[in-house]
Chains A and B, each alone.
Chain A
Amino acid sequence: AQKITQTQPGMFVQEKEAVTLDCTYDTSDPSYGLFWYKQPSSGEMIFLIYQGSYDQQNATEGRYSLNFQKARKSANLVISASQLGDSAMYFCAMRGNAGKSTFGDGTTLTVKP
């Protein structure tokens, strides 16, 4: 079984500062993918970044980077230079060999001006 844990229900960050959103996972699959999505109040899920279990380097996409620590089973999202538009719910998700996706409970990020 797969499990995703996001321990921060809510986070606050000052505009232009960096913030780290935590995600730990558990799986018995040897191959898996880790994803982060952003969900604004409109409801649409926006793909942010992907990390494969065999990837040696941490993934980066613009201001987003994924701090992948395989031995600790963690996949934290780092957002640099926060913007007001970053205020949203953020979900960590995992997809295993069978293709099923499991999502965490999400972290609500509020960026303060």
Chain B
Amino acid sequence: KAGVTQTPRYLIKTRGQQVTLSCSPISGHRSVSWYQQTPGQGLQFLFEYFSETQRNKGNFPGRFSGRQFSNSRSEMNVSTLELGDSALYLCASSEGEAQYYNEQFFGPGTRLTVL
């Protein structure tokens, strides 16, 4: 099976712009989670989707949003970009709904740089 794929792998934007990141989970996986990784804050949970519904949300401002499509692919959108949004954005998929026993498999990430 193909792994989790994320596009684009690298992105450069300027402050105030918006950006959309895409994640395709492993075939058959219905849960997709998004994480932000920065040197200062580490890995932080953004949100999780299962069957097109947002099931969990982290402590991020409303500028961060996401959605999931019927084929389980997910997109994450960040509006009005700030310098502090520069980070590695990781997507992870799980077979079932987010439960403590479900392994997550991560994609290679999208490295976003905001200038």
Chain A contacts to B: CB under 8 angstroms: 29, 31-33, 35, 37, 42-47, 50, 52-53, 91, 93, 95-106
Q: Closest CB-CB distance, A106 to chain B, in whole Å?
A: 7
Contact across chains for B107 and A44 when beta carbons are under 8 A apart = yes
Are B103 and A50 neighbours in the complex by a CB distance under 8 Å? Answer: yes
B48 touches A105 (CB 8 A): no
Contacting B111 at CB < 8 Å: which of A43, A100, A102?
A: A43
The closest CB in chain B to the CB of A102 belongs to B45
**Given that A44-B106, A47-B103 are known contacts, is A99 also in contact with B56, CB under 8 Å in the complex?**
yes
Interfacial chain B residues near A93, Cβ < 8 Å: 43
Interchain nearest-CB distance for B35 vs A (Å): 8
Tell me the residues in window 71-115 of chain B with beta carbons closer than 8 Å to chain A beta carbons. Answer: 88, 90, 92, 97-109, 111
Verify if B58 is at the interface (C-beta below 8 Å from A): yes
**Given contacts A47-B103, A50-B103, A91 and B43 within 8 Å (CB-CB):** yes
Contacts A35-B103, A100-B45, A101-B35 known; list 16 others, CB within 8 Å. Answer: A29-B100, A32-B100, A33-B100, A43-B88, A43-B108, A45-B90, A45-B92, A46-B106, A93-B43, A95-B100, A95-B104, A96-B100, A99-B55, A100-B98, A103-B35, A106-B42
Which interface residue of A91, A99, A102 has the most chain B CB atoms within 10 A?
A99
Asked if B24 lies at the interface with its beta carbon under 8 angstroms from chain A, I say no
**How many residues from B make CB contacts under 8 Å with A?**
27
Residue B22 at the chain A interface, CB threshold 8 Å: no
Distance (whole angstroms) from the CB of B33 to the closest CB of chain A:
7
Across the two chains, which residue of chain B brings its CB closest to A52? B101
In the assembled complex, 22 residue pairs joining A and B whose CB atoms fall closer than 8 Å, in A order, are: A31-B100, A33-B102, A35-B103, A43-B88, A44-B109, A45-B90, A45-B92, A47-B103, A47-B104, A50-B103, A91-B43, A96-B100, A98-B56, A99-B48, A99-B97, A99-B102, A100-B48, A100-B98, A101-B45, A103-B43, A103-B44, A105-B42
| Inter-chain contacts of A43 with B (CB < 8 A) | 88, 90, 108-109, 111
Inter-subunit contact B45/A44 (CB<8 Å): no
